[in-house]
Structure 1
Amino acid sequence: MFISWIRHHGRSADLAAALDIPAIFVDGGSGNVLRRYLRQWNDTRQAVRSGRPSHVIVMQPPLPALLAVLSVREGRRSRLIGDLHTGALENPKWRWASGIVLRILRRRGFAVVTNEELADRVSVRGTEALVMHDLLPSLPDTLDDTLDDPKLAELRAKTFILVPVTYANDEPIDALLEAASSGRDVTWVLTGRAPTGVSSSAPPNVYFTGYVSNADFLRLLSWCSAVAALTTREFTMQRAGYEALGAGKALITSNTNTLLRYFEDAAVFTDNSARSIADAGRRALDESRALALKMTRLREAKIASESMALQSLRDRLSE
């Protein structure tokens, strides 16, 4: 089984489906973090007890998800694989726990990471790492016109840049809002529940969708002219970047070594300053067709390497 302490995550869902194993999303509901973690802890233990899996892949962070699996007999008997997101090693909130996570995985299984740079950082600490980029999602051939959130209908006729964000500490939200303010001819559409301080300080050409369903997100992805996936953290692969690549959309992303290497000349890169983001947004819209064609060509190459990596993961899980 594949356990993720989150309402839903595309990477977890896609990998679980490709491996033909259950994807268990454990949402702690409302309340403070301790109450949520307690619910997630109990739900995880119950899932492992009832499923009795031979292998458990656990999204990391957070560390308690891994410990919850180990806290029951069935989990201790299972082989453990950590799907390490960059935050497990680089986010100050969870970096302190990286030694514990890698020590557990070194003894009980191995790590799966999203890029070669992270694999090097894990391997040098004695834990085996297998590189597995996100499986490239694609837009369905047809999308139902019935929106789950009717207010999004006004975006259909607009030219806009889609910015899938979680308001995490590596996302340059302030710079993005400043960029939007400097060029009000460009519409930026931000997903996710925006903190009050962000939404109240945004210029009128920034549209906040709030939480959207998976189906509505696909509609937004199909309607947009470009996608922005920005991070201030090196070694990070943005899920939105994979989504843009899978959909063949022009992409604006950060000029980290990891992203430059992966997207090559198919994306518009920015240094995350407001001026650079604004310039990248205009270029992405002006050259959206040419950039979309480059992304489509890059997608074909990535699909081939993705298939090889997925087979390697299947082979490891069958040992």
Structure 2
Amino acid sequence: MSKQIYITWIDFQRRAESMNQYVDFDLYYLPPPVSRKWLKPFGYLLQAWRTIRIVLAEKPDVVWVQSPPSLVPHILLGLRAFTRRYGLIVDCHNASMLPPWVHFPAATWVLNHSDRVLVHNEEMRGVVEAHGVRPELVRVLEDPPAMLDLPPAAPRAPDARPYVLVPCSFNPDEHLPLPAVMGAARLLPEVDFKITGRKWKAEAQGLTKDAPPNVHFTDYLTIGQFEALLAGANVVLGVTSRTNCQLSVANEALGAHSPLVLSDTGILRKMFGDAALFGENTPEALAAALGEALAHQPEMRAKSEALKLRRQESWLAEARRASQIGNGPASGGTPGAGTLVKPPAGR
């Protein structure tokens, strides 16, 4: 069995965690050691050194690496030229094809000298290939359904108000629809809305100033705190303004068997149409979809669970195809990306 590692320069990501429940790699988080933007280049030097040390110590057969930052594949490709050869799989998130990372020097050249380039949906495949990446290197690997070991939902009083969980990082694609979420909350005053993410970002964007009284900003949550909220949510709402975004929250909701409402995009309908309800990013459309989800919670929970099981099977087949790298242009001679394990039953 080949030894695999996955390196990402952030502190946590659900996609990587979920993939690690299906794919046998050791996951390394290397978050930025500094927060101030002007210090980031110095932080990158430390992250690069840690990356090199991990690879030299682990001697992997295959390295999976997340991009962006786009310089991480550069480091690993350069290191491979001076050490034992290993397969290199670059997991390209959508932001890798947006400024500033898409303009990073030699970004396309490095992808073309990797062994596999993963994108998250068919639309992004077209974007990556349009930037000059060789089509034979590109594979679509969507986020797998999260396998969550959720705590039991805390007992709630019979008269407790229902709540909608809105996982949020306040990135630009989420910032644009959030006023519509606020408007939907005003149309559903009997329902609480819990918006996760760092509160100072919400304040900086002016979202807390005129928020209705049934909207609550949770501030930063630990993984355990977030999963406790997820376990008790009546509905999970995921919003985006990007047509090519697949929303990690949707797979978290499937993992929790939660009723799910999403922004109405083609990608999200294709991936989650069997379980979710959809609304345009307007107060009226989101409120209508949320109201229907709240009224049909048992049926929607059953649909989420059924779609999770189907997506697990299809994702495993997709991952087996995507991870075969033996014939890549710069392959280290590894016949494949390792052992894919069957997910356990249950959550």
TM-score of the aligned structures, taking structure 2 as reference length:
0.80
2:151 and 2:228 in contact (8 A); partners too = no
Query: What is the CA deviation profile of residues 143-187 of structure 1, one whole-angstrom value per residue up to 9, with x for unaligned ones?
Result: 597xxxxxxx99x95411111110010111222122222322221
- CA distance in 2 between counterparts of 1:75 and 1:32 reads 33
Secondary structure in structure 1 of the residue aligned to 2:65? strand
Q: Please state how far the C-alpha of 1:130 moved relative to its aligned partner.
A: 1.5
Is 1:260 the counterpart of 2:275 in the alignment? Answer: no
Take 2:191 and 2:244, find their aligned partners in 1: how far apart are those partners? 29
- Cα displacement (A) at 1:19: 2.9
2:257 maps to 248
Q: CA contact under 8 A between 1:80 and 1:105: conserved in structure 2?
A: no
The structural deviation recorded for 1:314 is 4.3
Partner of 2:69: 62
CA displacement 1:221-270 (0-9 Å, x = unmatched): 11001111111101111000011112211111111111111112421111
Q: Percent identity, aligned pairs only?
A: 26
**CA distance in structure 1 between the aligned counterparts of 2:23 and 2:306, rounded to whole angstroms:** 26
TM-score, normalised on structure 1?
0.86
Return the letter of the residue paired with 1:163: V
Could you list the runs of 5+ residues in structure 1 that have no partner in the other structure?
146-152
**Counterpart in the other structure of 1:20:** 24
CA distance in 1, matches of 2:294, 2:82: 49
Give the equivalent residue in structure 1 for 2:89: 81
Shift of 1:310: 2.4
Q: Distance in 2 between matches of 1:164 and 1:261?
A: 21
Q: Conserved in 2, the CA contact under 8 Å of 1:186 and 1:282?
A: no
Q: Check the 8 A contact 2:161/2:190 in 1, yes or no.
A: no
User: Measured at CA, do residues 84 and 55 of structure 1 come closer, stay the same or move farther in structure 2, by a change above 3 Å?
Assistant: same
Structure showing the higher helix proportion among its residues: 1
Aligned partners of 1:215 and 1:314: how far apart in 2? 31
Q: In the TM superposition, what are the counterparts of 1:156-171 in structure 2 within 5 Å? A: 157-171=160-174
Q: How many residues align?
A: 309
Candidates 261, 281, 295, aligned match of 2:304: 295
* Structure 2 residue 55 is matched with structure 1 residue 51: yes
Hey, what's the Cα distance between the residues in 2 that align with 1:247 and 1:75? 45
**Alignment equivalent of 1:181, drawn from 164, 182, 186:** 186
Gaps of 5+ in 2: 327-333, 336-347
308-317 vs 179-188, greater mean Cα deviation = 308-317
- Of residues 38-47 and 250-259 in structure 1, the stretch that sits farther from structure 2 once superposed is 38-47
Residues 302-317 of structure 1 aligned to structure 2 (within 5 Å): 302-316=311-325
Give the letter aligned to residue 226 of structure 1: V
Q: How far apart are 1:208 and its partner, in Å? A: 1.2
Cα shift at 1:142: 4.7
Q: 1:48 to 1:19 in 2, by over 3 A?
A: farther
Report the equivalent of 2:195.
190
Alignment-mate amino acid for residue 16 of structure 2: S
- What is the rounded CA distance, in whole Å, between the counterparts of 1:183 and 1:129 in structure 2? 44
1:231 counterpart (224, 240, 243): 240
Rg (Cα) greater in structure: 2
